[in-house]
Amino acid sequence: MSVAGRPVAFPFDTHVVTEMFERLAWLRENEPAARVVVASGHEVWLVTRYEDVRLVLRDRRFSVPATTAPDAPRLFTTPFPPGVTLLRDTEPPDHARLRRLVMPEFRAQRVQRSLPLIRRVTDELLDALAEAGPPADLVTGFARPLPMAVICAWLGIPAGDGGRILALMDTMIGSNPVERIVAAQQEMCDYLAALTQARRAQPADDLFSTLVTAHDEQGSLSDAELTGLGISLLFAGHPVVTGVLAGALRTLLHRPADLARLRADPALAQSAVEELLRHQLVLRDGQIRMATEDVELAGVTVRAGESVVVSLNAANHDPAVFPDAERLDLGRDPNPHLAFGHGIHRCLASHLARAELRIGITSLLARFPGLRAAPRAPVGWRDHQRLQVLAALPVTW
């Protein structure tokens, strides 16, 4: 797909979801490895078929650290400074070492023990919505504060600081001047440095205290890794969850039959969440890797040093894997979607995100049986570089 013989910009210059999926479907069928231009201005390969996407994400010939070089292609305009080591930018053995420090807290069994926390936060937000009465905005009143409150409690960030953290994250991932993004990055690093000192002076039963102990007493973390893990966990626990939750609620509110089916059968929630994860478009681009040697992929030769972007959205709508892929089927089984990625860099907060989505959606529908979209509510999107997240979701009941 090109314009006047030149590769097109990716992500595509539209926020119309159906149009984005149509363009991805055309590429998947006709040009499964296509040349596109990413945010940094570089030309890269875009891969759209499910099996090719999985191959890139699990094959060690496609490197993550190589994508962090100053002149490497990037999917965002402003990387973090060199003094911050993000989990997403590492590979074994460092990746395995860092992931081992936090993975026990994010396993399914640990998340199961935290369901009361998620339910408490959910109920408090629903109480506030009910007390204020309709109409309401489910983005500002529910989809944004729910995952932020949960991840802050998980990490040990004071609840009163959630708004500040949320504002900093918005600035960092928004389409803002470089100076504002850099300033927000520095403020976030300074905040986590202050939190480190607070937990050093007074440890608590939270994940950040565990990380500080690993840094101070076990020597398992460098300063850059400690800060980077804090930032990585905040981003793993919030922006995408907000995007999926808001998008899922909007989808259900505009599909009365599916909404009624889920409301009548809460046991359907688990498969419904998986299908909503597959069906939604939240991350507008994908994940990027750099080939360390020549690789045959999707009918082309990716040369050593060339970068590849994999579209998780295109993979999740590949009819070779998902029959009738464009149809939302809340009972779809099996559903091997790639919404959380694949391979060693698969999102470590996936179990937590699933629990928040399941509890959030079912609790909301149970609390407000008459919930419906506000009439003539326009669709608007938050100003993010890479995410497709609703700015508002007006409802009444």
The string of pLDDT tens digits covering residues 229-254 is 999 999 999 999 999 999 999 999 99
Q: What is the pTM of this model?
A: 0.94
Give how far Cα 358 sits from Cα of 50, 128, 348, Å.
26, 20, 17
Residue 377 has pLDDT above 80, yes or no: no
Prior bond of 369 cis (ω within 30°): no
pLDDT at 3: 44
Average pLDDT, the chain: 94
Residue 314: both structure tokens together? 């295109």
The closest of 281, 286, 345 to 310, measured between CA atoms, is 286
Residue 99 has pLDDT above 70, yes or no: yes
Domains (ranges, CATH) in the chain?
2-396 (1.10.630.10)
CB atoms within 10 A of CB 27: 22
Is the CB of residue 215 less than 8 Å from the CB of residue 208? no
CB atoms within 10 A of CB 38: 22
Per-residue model confidence as pLDDT tens digits over 120-178? 999 999 999 999 999 999 999 999 999 999 999 999 999 899 999 999 999 999 989 99
300 backbone dihedrals φ, ψ, rounded to 5°: -130, 165
